[in-house]
Structure 1
Amino acid sequence: MADLRFLAGAGPSHQRGFFPEKAGIVSRLDLVSYSPCFVFLQALLGRDALSVVPNLIEFLNNSTTPFHATLEARRHLLESGFQQLNECEEWELQPGGRYFFTRNMSSIFAFAIGRKYKPGGGFHVLAAHTDSPCPKLKPVSAATKGGFLRVRVQAYGTGLWNTWFDRDLSVAGRVLRRTKNGELIHDLVRVRRPILRIPSLAFHMDRSVSSDSMKQDLESQLAPVLATQIEAELAVSCDSESPGEHEGNQSNDVHHPLLLQVLADELHCDVSEIADFELSIYDTQPACIGGARQEFVFSGRLDNLASAFCALWALLDTSSEPLSMLDEDYIRMVALFDNGEVGSEAVQGAGPQTMFQAMMRISRWLARGSTSEGVVERAIRRSFVVSADMAHALHPNNAENDVEHNQPKLHDGLVIKHNLTQNNATDAISAFLFKEVAKRNCIPTQNYSVVSDVGCCSTIDSVLAAGYGIRLVDCGLPQLAMHSVREMCGTEDIDAAFRHFRAFFQEIASLDDQLRVDA
């Protein structure tokens, strides 16, 4: 059985141990395109053996915040032989090398240089974002009302906040510590047990709650309950050896001492060491595969960790072996930005041109000693970016919200997004090239244009197109319950997206050379 799984070739090559040219996953969508051997394997091993979805589930469960998603991506890159760089230090690069760097611990950029790369060669990029809508703790989070300890939060992004009520919640994020010897460090923390809950109001206390359930006062009604006041006081008094132990660097009117104690217990440090933190609320229910035919993924943060995962897995699968870039004269890159849900303008977002700065450094280093003109400018014009976010799938209970000819569906592949106002930067050529990659590999795709009187959400693609001047196609995995605390998508769409992204890295160069527009 182990040998059969090995031959099936599911997942990145660093987990498989071999690198055949066409190794990867097979889903029910494309069994007809493969030999009877794969049909036999599908029946014998079960669907998961030939799918990347189990890897996605693990990635989702380990990526409760952008910090944790970046850490998880970093772990896989290191295991695959990628070398970590530091933006503040001088880089040393070479053709055939594989590298990555992080910014703010919440965004990550990885690239593999073709062994035949020449100055002015372009970049083929898969771009996504690591953040998702969620409540985040305010700098002054302590609040007490009605005998309860509450935590003040701010709504991050445009979430369906009513779905966060009555869920088993906890906290995760980054903690800044000042150790007893004066050292300043930061740690990632994740409290796995549920410590918070946002209770909904009983129906007979407010008869409008059933008709106005989608409306909340986010300042007062979204604050989670941490504990009852009397229990918190008992806990703090029992845990403290001296009256000043829980004062530390945070006064009691800034954050609840009980919350600080929970964080200190998780980090195995003293409360007095906690100087500050960036914490998000997350749902403790893990991601899972669901549906009567195991055809769905149920999880939080699918928008946009599903795209980030498929992009990362495609890079690992096509670039992790020493000989994988032997004949490549381009650079393959994955750019996973933070703050995509709130405009991308933060230092770790797509707006500040982090990716463009990296492209300049890479192009100039690889052209050192050369008298070639315009290496950066030529590299940018030869580059191609796939902006991968999520897309609204046809809703079974609200089908009238989409016009008849414009209904993305689950299990039908990536959705190519079009908007002539350039809120999505796809054009005819970029869409054709991306769909041609899919067509040559028997991978389904869908088209979507925004309904005229509804408008659409912006994605990082418009930021990248305007700020970088690179050709771009905007696509998304179809999903339901977008921005809910629990979203859903199709398992086959995850596999199709992975295969599509992998084929993009392998084939876009030759296709682009045939259709390049120079005028």
Structure 2
Amino acid sequence: MDNAVFNQQLFDFLKNSPTPYHAVEQMAQRLEAAGFERLDEQAEWSLASGQRYYVTRNDSTIIAFQTGHGDPVKQGVRMIGAHTDSPCLRVKPNPELFRKGYYQLGVEVYGGALLSPWFDRDLSLAGRVSYVDGKGRLRDGLINFSRPVATVPSLAIHLDREANNSRTVNPQTDIPPLLMQAPEKDAVPFKELLAHQLREEHPQADVAKVLDYELSFYDTQPPSTVGLNGEFIASARLDNLLSCFIGLQALLDADSAQPAVLVCNDHEEVGSMSAEGAQGPFLSSLLDRWVGAAQRPRVIARSMMVSADNAHGVHPNYADRHDGNHGPLLNAGPVIKVNNNQRYATNSRTAALYRHLSETLDLPCQTFVVRTDMGCGSTIGPLTAGNLGVRTLDIGVPQFAMHSIREMAGAKDGYTLYQVLRRYIELESLD
């Protein structure tokens, strides 16, 4: 696989993954096509040497792993972690708003979204819908309207002359998306609209009544290559579906000799404290079922986690927001993220291993440290390290516009990280 093919497959993945549920579905399809066997958490597992498996939780978190041909106690496990969620607008439980003949939906901001770019975009709606069928059984289905069905119009500058100087965004009053023109007396209840969409997308489904949903608005503009020389890629949800795709592709393309795990957690953007988040027990319980609770400490002692989450590239218009010696450039390689206050879990040994692999493959890498007078973000790295006791590296592709509705990264960096992670999975020893 070369860089161009890698980016085209990435674009296909991003376009078809508007929500964590869709991202997990896409990953599961690719894993099954590669021969991975699906496991059910409720069933008893009988894992064999040299086999490849995957399991999901809540349809929004996925773990794929290969058992390898040897003993994990002696070989350790090569772990890669990422997250499936991105900041967005989520539809409220009772969302219908009727004002001046317009039908709008109330939304809640999920995660630390940059709100201004959500205005004047062609928005669609996707997610999971829970319903009862004709026999009274509870069922779930994924929906994706795909086409533009909503927008958040800006207020004209004539009505807010200070818009370019001091406009703020009130998430309660300013961003309910406009769905249609419909007086309240003529409007179809939102859940009935969802039932209709379910029946259209899943003709075999016997949808009697929609009971609940978890739905997100998203920008319908597809991923693209940007720049006079095609230097950049632009898309929604690069943070952090780019890392999910990199980890998935590395696992698919690596040989199956060594024990390895890819975990893509939901809820990173809101703290990871959930059954399927990185602070939950999903990964540790999987390891117990694989190697046994008694042996897990020995396995962890020989293992390593690479937490892959995008990094802040130095913005040419705001270069002073970076430490002068640590301003990652797009297309100059993945970024090793360091924070001595443990917002990132990198230490000198894990960083050295990555640098060694990069040098062996003649590939570039960079380092990021936040300015000492600024706060630092975090990742699933410290959470996983703290839960499992596993040595961890935090790394990511540098990008612009993090948490915007549309983000930008270098066209080369994702492929570079993929090559190094593929080699990492194939290492005979992590010592």
What TM-score bracket applies, with the shorter chain setting the length?
Answer: over 0.9
Select the structure of larger CA radius of gyration: 1
Residues 1:386 and 2:386 aligned together = no
Match of 2:331 in 1: 411
Which letter does structure 1 place at the counterpart of 2:113?
G
Match of 2:176 in 1: 223
Counterpart CA distance in 2 for 1:228 and 1:118 is 60
Counterpart CA distance in 2 for 1:260 and 1:209 is 40
With normalisation by structure 2, the TM-score equals 0.96
Question: Which structure 2 residues correspond to residues 42-441 of structure 1 after superposition, within 5 A?
Answer: 48=4, 51-117=5-71, 119=73, 121-213=75-167, 215-230=168-183, 236=188, 252=189, 255=190, 257-258=192-193, 261-268=196-203, 272-319=208-255, 324-325=256-257, 328=258, 331-364=259-292, 374-441=294-361
What's the CA shift for 1:156? 0.2
Residues 1:489 and 2:388 aligned together = no
Counterpart CA distance in 1 for 2:30 and 2:201 is 24
Which letter does structure 2 place at the counterpart of 1:484?
S
What's the CA shift for 1:443? 1.3
Counterpart CA distance in 2 for 1:357 and 1:178 is 31
Counterpart CA distance in 1 for 2:319 and 2:420 is 27
Which letter does structure 1 place at the counterpart of 2:7?
V
Match of 2:380 in 1: 460
Equivalent pair of 1:132/1:301 in contact (CA under 8 Å): yes
What's the CA shift for 1:467? 1.3
Equivalent pair of 1:408/1:447 in contact (CA under 8 Å): yes
Counterpart CA distance in 2 for 1:277 and 1:291 is 39
Which letter does structure 1 place at the counterpart of 2:392?
L
Counterpart CA distance in 2 for 1:106 and 1:148 is 33
- Secondary structure of 1:210's aligned partner: helix
Counterpart CA distance in 2 for 1:193 and 1:302 is 21
Which letter does structure 1 place at the counterpart of 2:170?
D
Q: Which has the higher helix share?
A: 1
Which letter does structure 2 place at the counterpart of 1:220?
T
Equivalent pair of 1:197/1:224 in contact (CA under 8 Å): yes
Which letter does structure 1 place at the counterpart of 2:209?
E
- Secondary structure of 2:154's aligned partner: coil
Counterpart CA distance in 1 for 2:206 and 2:114 is 37
Shift in alpha-carbon separation, 1:271–1:223, aligned structure 2, 3 A = farther
Equivalent pair of 1:121/1:378 in contact (CA under 8 Å): no
Which letter does structure 1 place at the counterpart of 2:241?
L
What's the CA shift for 1:265? 3.8
What's the CA shift for 1:273? 2.4
- Secondary structure of 2:382's aligned partner: helix
Deviations 1:202-241 (A, max 9, x none): 001111222124x2110111100111124x76575xxxxx
Deviations 1:447-497 (A, max 9, x none): 111111111111111111111111001001100011111101011001101
Equivalent pair of 1:353/1:468 in contact (CA under 8 Å): no
Counterpart CA distance in 2 for 1:473 and 1:141 is 41
Counterpart CA distance in 2 for 1:334 and 1:450 is 27
What's the CA shift for 1:503? 1.2
- Secondary structure of 2:373's aligned partner: coil
Counterpart CA distance in 2 for 1:351 and 1:403 is 30
Counterpart CA distance in 2 for 1:339 and 1:65 is 12
Which letter does structure 2 place at the counterpart of 1:294?
G
- Secondary structure of 1:336's aligned partner: strand
Match of 1:449 in 2: 369
Counterpart CA distance in 2 for 1:257 and 1:77 is 34
Equivalent pair of 1:113/1:332 in contact (CA under 8 Å): yes
Counterpart CA distance in 1 for 2:360 and 2:322 is 29
Which letter does structure 2 place at the counterpart of 1:280?
S
Counterpart CA distance in 2 for 1:235 and 1:463 is 46
Counterpart CA distance in 1 for 2:211 and 2:356 is 53
- List gaps (5 residues or longer) in structure 1: 1-9, 11-24, 28-47, 237-251, 366-373, 514-519
Counterpart CA distance in 2 for 1:315 and 1:85 is 18
| RMSD (CA atoms) | 1.8
Counterpart CA distance in 2 for 1:179 and 1:448 is 52
What's the CA shift for 1:500? 1.2
Match of 1:475 in 2: 395
What's the CA shift for 1:116? 2.0
Deviations 1:371-402 (A, max 9, x none): xxx52110011110000001010101111211
Sequence identity of aligned pairs in percent? 38
Which letter does structure 2 place at the counterpart of 1:340?
E
Deviations 1:134-175 (A, max 9, x none): 000111111111221110100000111110110000110001
Counterpart CA distance in 1 for 2:45 and 2:193 is 45
Counterpart CA distance in 2 for 1:62 and 1:257 is 24
What's the CA shift for 1:117? 2.2
With normalisation by structure 1, the TM-score equals 0.80
Counterpart CA distance in 2 for 1:260 and 1:188 is 11
- Secondary structure of 1:71's aligned partner: helix
Counterpart CA distance in 1 for 2:194 and 2:67 is 46
- Secondary structure of 1:211's aligned partner: helix
